[in-house]
């Protein structure tokens, strides 16, 4: 069984690799998100039985790696590693597209148990289509539709709408949007969020006489649960 471990803490990554090798796994390491994405993408399809993915990674977050892998049709089971004091909790890891999660620090016995169970279950089903009223977003086909009519969106608009839809009915802050839709190391002008919210409104709301994307004063934005 072959596993890709994407973990920026080098000593932890090496400890995991050594332990897994003793259990008979073949292990490849990547030390940041971009390297992990590249390695998973370049390795022949199905070569990895599982990917262990740290959530907080340099260059690309674990969430972004996960999202891009799924967008490319790579459905290798993903075990997400999250920190207890991190910004995300366990439920979020699953919402973000992972198949299972472990909270650091974890014992090696628990790690092996999760990994074997994950590999036994095999590759996940394609994700369910997200919907809010008659607004739908299909993560597998990268398709957005309003009342069944396809709406053409750019990859960034798609990612923004997907984030809003996964949090539908709840206000999300501009900084949460930047971290999830751009990345945690984004250093540009945060007003970029408003610009993209405007683009999306022109595509999914205005032509249909709707106002699904709401501005929440002092908080951020919210996608109405009923679309
Ligand atoms: Ca990390």
Among 100, 121, 142, the domain-final residue is: 121
Q: Are residues 77 and 183 in the same domain?
A: no
Nearest to 30 by CA among 44, 51, 47: 51
Range of the domain at 69: 2-121
| pLDDT band with cut points at 50, 70 and 90 for residue 198 | very high
Predicted pLDDT at 82: 83
Q: Are residues 136 and 106 in the same domain?
A: no
Q: How far is the CA of 6 from the centre of ligand 1 (A)?
A: 9
Q: Structurally, how many domains does the chain consist of?
A: 2
Predicted pLDDT at 84: 62
Judged against a pLDDT cut of 80, whether residue 123 lies above it is answered with no
Q: Are residues 109 and 165 in the same domain?
A: no
Please give the model's pTM, rounded to 2 decimal places.
0.57
Strand partners, 27: 3
Q: Are residues 140 and 117 in the same domain?
A: no
pLDDT tens-place string over residues 88-121: 555 566 666 688 888 888 999 999 999 999 998 8
Predicted pLDDT at 92: 62
Q: Are residues 135 and 101 in the same domain?
A: no
Predicted pLDDT at 182: 83
Predicted pLDDT at 141: 72
Q: Are residues 15 and 49 in the same domain?
A: yes
Q: How far is the CA of 58 from the centre of ligand 1 (A)?
A: 7
Judged against a pLDDT cut of 60, whether residue 86 lies above it is answered with no
Q: How far is the CA of 81 from the centre of ligand 1 (A)?
A: 8
Using CB atoms within 10 A of its CB, is residue 25 exposed (0-12), middle (13-18) or buried (19+)?
Answer: buried
Mean pLDDT of the chain: 88
Q: How far is the CA of 18 from the centre of ligand 1 (A)?
A: 19
Q: Are residues 29 and 46 in the same domain?
A: yes
Q: Are residues 151 and 195 in the same domain?
A: yes
CATH number at residue 10: 3.40.50.2300
Q: Are residues 22 and 109 in the same domain?
A: yes
Strand partners, 79: 52, 100
pLDDT tens-place string over residues 24-81: 999 999 999 999 999 998 877 668 999 999 988 999 988 889 888 887 778 899 999 9
Where does 20-154 show beta strands of DSSP type E?
26-30, 50-54, 78-83, 100-104, 130-132, 135-138, 143-146, 149-151
Q: Are residues 114 and 134 in the same domain?
A: no
Judged against a pLDDT cut of 80, whether residue 127 lies above it is answered with no
Q: How far is the CA of 195 from the centre of ligand 1 (A)?
A: 30
Among 121, 145, 175, the domain-final residue is: 121
Percent of the chain with pLDDT strictly greater than 90: 59
Nearest to 97 by CA among 120, 119, 75: 75
Q: How far is the CA of 214 from the centre of ligand 1 (A)?
A: 33
* Separation between Cα atoms, residue 204 and residue 209, nearest integer Å: 9
Predicted pLDDT at 142: 79
The pair phi, psi for residue 175, each rounded to 5°, is: -70, -35
Q: How far is the CA of 213 from the centre of ligand 1 (A)?
A: 33
Q: Are residues 110 and 134 in the same domain?
A: no
Among 121, 145, 169, the domain-final residue is: 121
Q: How far is the CA of 55 from the centre of ligand 1 (A)?
A: 6
* Separation between Cα atoms, residue 85 and residue 79, nearest integer Å: 18
Find the mean pLDDT for residues 137-163: 89
Q: Are residues 98 and 150 in the same domain?
A: no
Q: How far is the CA of 59 from the centre of ligand 1 (A)?
A: 11
- The answer to whether the beta carbons of residues 169 and 175 sit under 8 Å apart is no
Predicted pLDDT at 93: 60
């Amino acid at each position: 069984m072959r596993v890709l471990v994407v973990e920026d803490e080098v000593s932890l990554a090496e400890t995991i690799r050594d332990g897994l090798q003793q259990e008979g796994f073949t292990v490849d390491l990547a030390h940041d998100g971009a390297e992990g994405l590249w390695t998973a993408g370049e390795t022949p399809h199905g070569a990895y039985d599982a990917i262990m993915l740290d959530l907080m990674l340099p260059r690309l977050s674990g969430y972004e790696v996960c999202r891009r892998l799924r967008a490319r049709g790579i459905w290798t089971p993903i075990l997400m590693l999250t920190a207890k004091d991190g910004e995300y909790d366990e439920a979020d890891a699953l919402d973000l597209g992972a198949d299972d999660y472990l909270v650091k620090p974890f014992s090696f016995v628990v790690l092996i148990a999760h990994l074997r169970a994950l590999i036994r279950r095999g590759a996940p089903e394609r994700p369910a289509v997200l919907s809010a009223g008659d607004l739908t977003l299909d993560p597998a086909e990268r398709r957005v539709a309003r009342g069944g009519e396809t709406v053409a969106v750019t990859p960034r608009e798609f990612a923004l709408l997907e984030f809003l839809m996964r949090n539908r009915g709840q206000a999300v802050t501009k900084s949460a949007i930047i971290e999830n839709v751009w990345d945690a190391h984004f250093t540009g002008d945060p007003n970029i969020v408003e610009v993209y919210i405007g683009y999306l409104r022109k595509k999914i709301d205005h032509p249909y006489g709707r106002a699904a994307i709401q501005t929440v004063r002092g908080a951020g934005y919210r996608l109405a649960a009923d679309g």
